Chains A and B, each alone.
Chain A
Amino acid sequence: MSLNGKRILIAKPGLDGHDVGAKIIALALRDAGADVIYTGLRRSPDYIARVAVDEDVDAVGLSILSGSHKELVAETVRCLEELDASDIHLFVGGTIPREDQDELREAGARAIFTAEMPLDDVVAAIDADLAS
């Protein structure tokens, strides 16, 4: 397994101020060989999409703990489309209730990761998705 040469943006949209999870994922992806860019806290979907374009990433991982995941995912997908970048893969991580996950997938999330998933599984899933 190797994410060598893959560029991944880890982004924190919305208002929650906790980025321990985002940073752990960022380091795990780096250790799997990826080039990882982190946005910092409280970014707008519009900002995240613009950074994704300027940095030419293969994937964006949104870390959302605020409960606003439906709105934030939909808005990020819309912003990426506007910038002709809907081919960038979108992942979502955080506190995402099971009953919301299908809706996020329909909106455009390629995979959804929650806190109870082992880190290796998350990295393997991202690796498999980007290799496809």
Chain B
Amino acid sequence: MNEVSRNPRRALSRALSRIANADVSETLAQQNASTPATLSRIGITGAPGAGKSTLIARLAHLRKGVDRKIAVLAIDPTSPVSQGSILGDRIRMDSIADDPDIFIRSIPSRRAHDGLTDNTADLLNAMEGHGFDEVILESVGVGQAEYTIRTLVDTVVLVLLPESGDAIQAMKAGILEMADIYVVNKADLPGAELLESHIQQVAERQSRNGWTPPVICTTRSDPAGFALLDKAIRDHAHWRATHTDETAVRRARARYQAHGLIARRIDEILEDDDGGLLDLDPRGLFDALHAKLKPDMED
């Protein structure tokens, strides 16, 4: 099953499976330090049912072009009970499903609780070098605390629904402070104007170094909103080119990746253990885990 396919799309698709399924040791063995990040990375996040997948379909269609290919990585939740998943984002991307210039891959969240999946950083890196210009990462439907996506993408788009208007006022911290662009989706629903004005205030507070996150209203029937979103993403990329500390971005991504690998290695150790480790006091458990981490990470 591991031979390279004569169909390049299949070769990529298999490489993604290998990365997604890799345990910590395999992930470490597969690291390829020489891959520079050249793809622009757009992250789309928001609550369940906010319309992220449908919005991505509209956006991908606008952002692809002559010689411009788009990849979409769409993460759906893994059932904590069966470890299985229904990966349903693709159905909502119906309008672009037949487009050979757009690659869509559905990914289960697995163990991750941060709105992403195990090995997200590696999956994003794996999209380099396959002729894509941009990768759009769709998070699981999230609440306010899941903002890890901020670290891994260049532009974070937070998708909100009009009904969430009142909740937004109370929501002072978290993902709401992390977005580069806010979208009020389904803006033809009641409450949209109120939400827009709330978010406008939030956005003004986030203003820094000359970037004030724009608030964009989108509705299914009106293409103008999606065109504005496309433009806002371009504007952000333009702003980012001169206002981003690339070293800091690279370090933050390295930190996230190392943190994730160690956390998963600890899970692997505890799952292999018969329970004795977890009967230790916190200090004993820490020392035991610390001792067990090292040999495995050096093989």
Contact surface of A with B, Cβ cutoff 8 Å? 2-5, 7, 26-27, 29-40, 47, 51, 53-56, 83-85, 87
Contact = CB atoms under 8 A, between A and B. Distances in A.
Nearest to B85: A35
Given A37-B106, A51-B97, A56 B7 contact: no
A114 to B, nearest CB: 23
A33 B90 contact: no
Given A54-B103, A56-B13, A83-B10, A35 B21 contact: no
B103 A35 contact: no
B5 interface: yes
Nearest to A23: B86
Nearest to B98: A47
- Tell which of B5, B14, B86, B108 has the most Cβ of chain A within 10 Å: B86
Nearest to A85: B10
B13 A35 contact: no
Contacts of B198: none
B94 A40 contact: yes
Interface string B77-96: 01101111111101100100
B6 interface: yes
Contacts of A47: 97-98
Given A5-B21, A35-B108, A87-B1, A51 B90 contact: yes
Interface string B105-118: 11010000000000
Nearest to A7: B17
B94 A35 contact: no
Interface string B128-140: 0000000000000
A34 B78 CA distance: 10
A31 B13 contact: no
B16 interface: yes
Given A31-B81, A55-B90, 8 more contacts: A27-B86, A31-B82, A37-B87, A39-B91, A47-B97, A47-B98, A83-B7, A84-B6
B9 interface: yes
- Tell which of A53, A54, A55 has the most Cβ of chain B within 10 Å: A54
A87 B2 CA distance: 12
A29 to B, nearest CB: 7
A55 B13 contact: yes
A56 B14 contact: yes
A53 B13 contact: yes
Contacts of A5: 21
